[in-house]
Structure 1
Amino acid sequence: MPFDLTRDDPSVGVIILTRKGTCAFCSGGDQVLRNEDGYYDHENIGRLNVLEFQVQIRLLPKPVIAMFAGYAVGGGHVLHMVYDLTIAADNAVFGQTGPKVGSFDAGYGSSIMSHLIGPEKAREMWFFARFHSAVEAEKMGLINTIVPGDDLEKEIIKWCREILRNSQTTFGRPNFSKFN
């Protein structure tokens, strides 16, 4: 499993998930690898189920922080909401794409979004599939903070150091109740 190495490693206190490159955090599932039975790699081996991945993240006994610039849309939008905290660059863009392509949330995204921004606003995001700026996302409560893109890594390090000054034993328990 993706997080097995970090879960029990006492030298890891915070997990940061970010993007490769500068254009997007995540735009969702790779449609090239999708067939009628789900996602498969190029050797036709089944890939990690999105729901299983979300549960793994939610049950990690350590804070998980999304650090990104660019687009977090579709599955990427859901993914950042599953994390504990989100720090976004000022060029970040958020939104749903599923309704435009006949896809739906196969995990906990719609439920988590409803808790974060309220059921009415969550339904609006799903029904209209509009994109939102980082400023709009912060106002809605989708993200924790916005920083200039050049300061993103510096800010995440600052947040991690502050978190690590606290007792690490307290972080395991809250993660088990994140779905309530």
Structure 2
Amino acid sequence: MTFVRDAVTKYISGRMFVNKGHSKSWYIENLTKDINRDFERKEYHFRYENYLITPAQRESYRRNNITLSLEDKTELIIHNLLEYNVIIGVVERMSDSMELLKHYIDPINKMESLFVKYGMKDPVTGEIVRPKEKNTSPVSTSVVLAEIKNDKKLYEKLVEIVKYEQRITDFAVGLHSRQYNMIEKMGAT
């Protein structure tokens, strides 16, 4: 199983996570610098390759002195999601993701309460319990992202530098939806 997240949100959240405890203005200033620098250098944010390209594939390309473009890596990762039957969780759809995960690892409902605790819809009450956040910050990713979206040119640059990750995320979200719909039709949710 792997989890995906909206690429723009993932970029902002990741930068904020490694630089905890600053003010909104500090985050905006530093993210603006990072985004402009990455855009000017054509440095794309591309982290899925760290765990969605297999070690054997990596070794084969290295041994044969093959360097894949980001476009080729994107296609390879999409291929791998299908080839290896990866179960997809989506951060923005945590309740559905928990139901999907539970379906595969707890089909006889021995640990159902644990899944409910971490965000799965309670099958009895229909309520979704929000798990307590451990990495709370005085400034939320959504507040910083809203501010960045106000600067249209900056936001366009951000969208550009995460475009390959977003393509993978878009494909994976579609795959997640099909997987969830399948277990729903089976009556497993």
- TM-score band (shorter)? under 0.3
Select the structure that is richer in helix.
2
Higher strand proportion (structure 1 or 2): 1
Q: Which has the higher contact order (CA 8 A, sep 6+)?
A: 2
User: Whose Rg is larger?
Assistant: 2
TM-score between both structures, scaled by the size of structure 2: 0.25
TM-score where L is the length of structure 1 = 0.26
